[in-house]
Structure 1
Amino acid sequence: MKTKKLLLMMVLTLMIAIIAACGNAEEGGTDTGTDTGGTDTEETTDEGGDDAAAGDAEGSLVLSGSSAIQPLMAAGAEEFMMENPNADIQVQAGGSGQGLSQVADGSVDIGNSDVFAEEKEEIPAEDLVDHRIAVVGMGPAAHPEVGIEDISTEDLIAVFTGEVTNWSELGGADQEITLVNRPDSSGTRATFVNYALDGAEPAEGITEDSSNTVKQIISETPGAIGYLAFSYYTDDTVLPLNLDGVEQTDDNVTSGEFPVWAYMHSYTNGEPEGLAKTFLDYMMSEDVQQVIVPELGYIPSTDMQVERDAEGNQTDL
């Protein structure tokens, strides 16, 4: 009898222990599923960068516009698509005017420009949202054998307006000057005209849609001069000319000493949503801003010690 009672007590004790253990397991499952899992999922959905990092972004985007920003956007798109195999992003050039026109009429998702939309009279700037991805310095670029390394603003204007036609007039080689321009729709041209030529319009010369082609022509044409973004100075096939004794460097742009620079704008028609927002958030992430941006010759906007508005006014930060 005592033995039966002892066995019954042991069975009851074991059952109580099992019930208690099950109760604890249920509580742990509730905490994990509601508090932790639910919160993590919600945060990932809200943050575009997290979606991209997780490889969850999908869909397609078409970007067009400034060739000055094209290398940066193309590199960012390539990295983004590697992390998000279900996303397809096409980056086209064509000039800032084209990018602004196409994003305004809805034919592309993002219009890249190195001028403010307000600077283009035909663009409904009030409908567009500006995303300043980076800053780019621009300057006069010449064939390496022109015989000078520095040019004054006064002489640069004389060269581009056709008043000076041979490098020997500036103490350089006895070589006829060939002008290489971008079309009127180009943001690079607008920036160069405004801040390097003091508004003077260039004389007729060779006109090319792409900065890549401009660089190639300058490198292959003795006596040629054009203008390029710093990001195209990847080798010694063209010569960046100092302007008024100031070198074309990032530091001189961020300090405000070198005046020829522009924001790299990515415009959307209204506030971005879906893949467009996720991609633009990714382009503003630390990985892109502090690694890809400087590696490709651009300047993070946060490094600037000066700022500029759509009217061209530059002020210290």
Structure 2
Amino acid sequence: MHKHLLEKLTILFLFIVTFLTGCANNNSSKITIVGSSALQPLAEQAGNDYRLSHSGSNIVVQGGGSGTGLSQIQAGAVQIGSSDVFADTQKGINAHLLKDYLVAVVGVVPIVNKSVGVKNLSIKQLQEIFTGKITNWQQVGGKKGAIIVINRSKGSGTRATFEDLVLRGKQAVKSQEQDSNGTVKKIVNSTPGTISYISFPYATDNNIQKLSIDHVYPTNKNIPDNKWKLWSYEHMYTKGKPNKATASFLKYILSKKVQTGLIPKTGYLSVNQMHVKRDSHNKVTKLGK
């Protein structure tokens, strides 16, 4: 009698545990964000902050480059594909299937190893270095020594932004390529003669030499009016209408709390701070504010 009752109670207990576990799993919504390494610091911090006020949420942020983010969201493999470039500029991407959320603006800055002795370049000098026409730092007022170009990998939105705005259709010199802002910064820090470029949120320490361009300094205050021209939007793309959990997170990242608080704190600008806008063909026009 007691044994039979115990068995029934055990079965009931297991049923309740299974039911509650299922409910918990249904309520916890995983959001995977893949793509731009330039956006990664903001996405990670926003994800951490969001989790604190949304129990059961599970936000995973990965890099891989803008090209990866766009291809992954198009394939439906992730909930958000992050990118520094407009989807309609990328081959093989059906931009009309994706929904674009402009979540921030990010600056891009050329950086050099401090040993080169250069703090400013003209846009033409920068172009000629990255196309291989200028090969020694002495040619641009620095110390005698070979210029070592470090480029970002193909598929990088930061590279696409830099090449569109600096190289302007000219062929980049063959060089070492790296797939993330963080790796580029480490190499430039430790390797004499090197030059590359990174997004502003990574350029926060004193170990690297940030370059001004035509004597305009790489600061966020110079971006809204396009005085500093090396900048891009940070996009978060969904495949069509996002699910409820993803829509909630996107609403959070576009909220006043994030746009006026977390975004400037982490080195980005809110789109709302801009006095100009740029389209996918890099045409810049003034906003009617």
Common fold: TM-score over 0.5 = yes
> CA shift at 1:58, angstroms?
3.5
1:289-308 to 2 correspondence within 5 Å? 289-308=259-278
Alignment of 1:104-143 (within 5 A): 104-143=74-113
What are the equivalent positions in structure 2 for 1:274-285 lying under 5 Å apart?
Answer: 274-285=244-255
Q: Which structure 2 residues correspond to residues 90-109 of structure 1 after superposition, within 5 A? A: 90-109=60-79
1:52-201 mapped onto 2 (5 Å cutoff): 58-201=28-171
- CA distance in 2: counterparts of 1:228 and 1:199, whole angstroms: 20
SS of equivalent residue, structure 2 residue 229: coil
Partners of 1:85 and 1:237 lie apart in 2 by 39
Which runs of 4 or more aligned residues in structure 1 lie more than 6 Å from their structure 2 counterparts after TM superposition? none
Contact 1:61 1:109 in 2 (8 A): yes
Query: CA separation in 1, counterparts of 2:241 and 2:280?
Result: 20
**8 Å contact 1:131–1:265 — kept in the other structure?**
yes
Matched residue SS, 2:155: coil
Q: Is residue 2:231 matched to residue 1:261?
A: yes
For residue 256 of structure 1, report the CA deviation from its aligned partner: 1.1
Question: Which residue type is aligned with residue 246 of structure 2?
Answer: A
Distance in 2, Cα, partners of 1:88 & 1:102: 19
- Asked if 2 retains the 8 angstrom alpha-carbon contact of 1:139 and 1:196, the reply is no
The separation in 2 between residues aligned to 1:217 and 1:89, in whole angstroms, is 30
Give per-residue Cα distances to partners, 1:42-81, cap 9 Å, x unaligned: xxxxxxxxxxxxxxx8310111001010110011001111
| Deviation of 1:238 (Å) | 1.4
| Residue in 1 that maps onto 2:14 | none
- The CA deviation string for residues 262-291 of structure 1, in whole angstroms up to 9 with x for no partner, is 000000000222110000100011111111
**Structure 1 residue identity aligned to 2:135:** T
8 Å CA contact retained: 1:308, 1:315: yes
Kindly report which structure 2 residues correspond to 1:25-64, keeping only aligned pairs within 5 A, or say none. 58-64=28-34
How far residue 196 of structure 1 moved from its aligned partner, in angstroms, is 2.1
Contact 1:58/1:275, CA 8 A, preserved across alignment: no
> What's the Cα RMSD here?
1.1
Per-residue deviation at 1:163?
Answer: 1.3
The answer for unaligned runs of 5 or more in structure 2 is 1-26
Deviation at 1:300, TM superposition (A): 0.3
Partner of 1:21: none
Aligned length: 261
Q: TM-score, normalised by structure 1?
A: 0.81
Larger Rg: 1 or 2?
1
Matched residue type, 1:130:
D
Secondary structure in 2 matching 1:93 = strand
The Cα of 1:164 is off from its aligned counterpart by 1.3
Q: Shift of the alpha carbon at 1:255?
A: 0.9
Instruction: Determine which of 178, 183, 187 is the counterpart of 1:208.
Output: 178
Shift of 1:245: 1.2
Distance 2:166 2:189 in 1: 21
The letter for the 1-side match of 2:142 is: G
Instruction: Give, in whole Å, the separation in 2 of the partners of 1:273 and 1:244.
Output: 46
Identity of aligned residues (%): 39
Structure 1 regions of 5+ residues with no counterpart?
1-56
**1:143 CA displacement:** 1.0
CA distance in 1, matches of 2:181, 2:170: 21
Q: Structure 1 counterpart of 2:243, which letter?
A: E
Distance 1:279 1:249 in 2: 29
Distance 1:211 1:253 in 2: 20
